[in-house]
Amino acid sequence: MTTPAGHSLIGLAVFLATPAAGRKAALILLVLLMAAAFIPDIDLFPLLWGDLQGANNSHQHFTHSLLFTAVVALALAFVASKLGCGRFLHLSPYFIAAAWSHIFLDMLTEDTREPIGVEFFWPLSDARFSSPVSFFGGLAKSRMEDLLSWHNVQVVAGEIMVLAPLVVAVWLMRMWRIRRARRIAQSSE
């Protein structure tokens, strides 16, 4: 399971990649894209009442499938379009990318607790998939005390070190596109 830090960074990177990121509805778009990046973890709600075992048992099932995340992402894109963030057809790929990134990040994370992997093709198959190579360390989550352990701090730091350069690269590309568009606009005047 990737941490909220990793999912947040990907949500931010997708936001920066959207052409609508400079509009006045940018904050709404950012919040909704972050929601799309987090939505598969809706199955962790038992944590709200302190049920770590229930959260561990319900995690990475149908909410971590391509179908579930696509449906929710499209619903969020629809909401974003109604709130003035852009046109639905233009926003949809960004929302799907944010939601699907969650599944792929979780697949690339060390997973040692049963059930291992994600139900990628639910409802067509309940087969679970995970990467043979882990790019991110797994969280310690056997007990509530583990959630704030030094190990988990190191896992979060590792995710930030791997994913922050991606955010910076997307931001630099965005700045390059903006400067290029301004130069073109100035040269056509």
Task: List pLDDT tens digits, range 81-115.
Answer: 999 999 999 999 999 999 999 999 988 887 776 77
For the cut 90, the answer to whether the pLDDT of residue 170 exceeds it is yes
Greatest mean pLDDT range, 83-87, 124-128, 166-170: 166-170
Is 109 within 8 Å of 134 (Cβ atoms)? yes
Name the more confident of 138 and 79.
Answer: 79
Query: The pTM is what?
Result: 0.83
- Residue 40 confidence (pLDDT): 87
Residue type for 28, please?
I
Q: For residues 17 and 33, what is the distance between their CA atoms, to the nearest angstrom?
A: 11
Number of structural domains found in the chain? 1
- Residue 136 confidence (pLDDT): 78
Name the more confident of 125 and 16.
Answer: 16
Task: List pLDDT tens digits, range 19-43.
Answer: 866 667 899 999 999 999 998 887 7
For the cut 60, the answer to whether the pLDDT of residue 130 exceeds it is yes
Is 39 within 8 Å of 65 (Cβ atoms)? no
| CB atoms inside a 10 Å sphere around CB 63 | 21
- Residue 188 confidence (pLDDT): 79
Phi-psi region of 49 (alpha: psi -120 to 50; beta: other; left: phi over 0): alpha
For the cut 90, the answer to whether the pLDDT of residue 185 exceeds it is no
**Token code pair at residue 109:** 């994370």
For residue 127, the enclosing domain spans 4-187
